[in-house]
Amino acid sequence: MPTDQSKTSTLLKLAKRGPFRARELDDVGIPRAYLRRLVDQGKLEQAARGLYQLPGADVTELHTLAEVSLRVPKATVCLLSALQVHGLTTEAPHAVWLMIDTRARAPMLDTRSIEVVRAKGEAREHGIEIRKVEGVTVRVTTPAKTVADCFRYRRHVGLDVAIAALRDYVAGTRAPGRRRDMTIDALFAAAKVDRVSVFFRPYVEALV
């Protein structure tokens, strides 16, 4: 039977990988009472409700995305937050933008502001990549899907934001060392999935 020391050691090893949820302890057979004990000892800190990390853990500019993705793992980071991930904006969004299924319950977080949009089928599943942020798996829309989404959800983010993102994307397709998937074809494929091709095309043609 694991000792108190071995349970503590296992828990601290878990924390070294990055922020974690209290319920992850169930998978390794550690009572949640150990969390409070280690917090009281200063070996862990509570970053948010149900979320723990090592004290003074390295925090990146995308820390909030890692925190939210831990708590809403099936959601996909999109729109303004995805633009930030891909360097297609210099603005830091005031909230984390998430895409969820049309039938999913809207997440309620007590410590972070979130903005939610809904999609289903291919519009929700097309153009998703997996990132590791501070050891946390984060689902985020690809650059092409992010730009197309900005046009689809332009009433949420503003047409000016969508056009600026498109301009930066097109410029990125010409930059040395660009991502191979940042192409005009990828952009139109995403726009077709989002059903904004007709509205979208004149803006692209004006830039290419």
Would you write out the chain's pLDDT as a tens digit for each of its 208 residues? Answer: 457 778 788 888 877 776 777 777 777 788 888 888 888 888 888 766 667 777 876 556 688 888 889 889 899 999 999 999 998 987 778 889 999 999 999 888 765 688 999 999 999 999 999 998 877 899 999 999 999 999 999 999 999 999 999 999 999 888 887 788 899 999 999 999 999 999 999 999 998 8
Phi, psi of 48 (to 5 degrees): -165, 180
Angle (deg, nearest 10), helices 159-173 and 143-152: 160
Asked if residue 39 is part of any domain, the answer here is: yes
User: Do 33 and 98 belong together in one domain?
Assistant: no
Asked if residue 37 is part of any domain, the answer here is: yes
Of 53, 76, 91, the residue that ends a domain is 53
User: Do 10 and 87 belong together in one domain?
Assistant: no
User: Do 104 and 198 belong together in one domain?
Assistant: yes
User: Do 175 and 106 belong together in one domain?
Assistant: yes
Asked if residue 59 is part of any domain, the answer here is: no
Asked if residue 138 is part of any domain, the answer here is: yes
Global confidence as pTM = 0.75
Closest CA to 16 of 43, 50, 49: 43
Asked if residue 153 is part of any domain, the answer here is: yes
Q: 53: which 2 tokens?
A: 């990390």
H or E, element range at 161: helix 159-173
User: Do 94 and 186 belong together in one domain?
Assistant: yes
The predicted pLDDT at position 82 comes to: 96
The answer to whether 149 touches 189, Cβ cutoff 8 Å, is: no
User: Do 12 and 90 belong together in one domain?
Assistant: no
Residue type, 181: D
The predicted pLDDT at position 133 comes to: 84
User: Do 77 and 137 belong together in one domain?
Assistant: yes
Asked if residue 58 is part of any domain, the answer here is: no
The predicted pLDDT at position 67 comes to: 85
The predicted pLDDT at position 1 comes to: 45
Asked if residue 103 is part of any domain, the answer here is: yes
The answer to whether 66 touches 17, Cβ cutoff 8 Å, is: no
The predicted pLDDT at position 24 comes to: 76
> What is the number of structural domains in the chain?
2
Asked if residue 111 is part of any domain, the answer here is: yes
Instruction: Tell me the residue range of the domain where 42 lies.
Output: 4-53
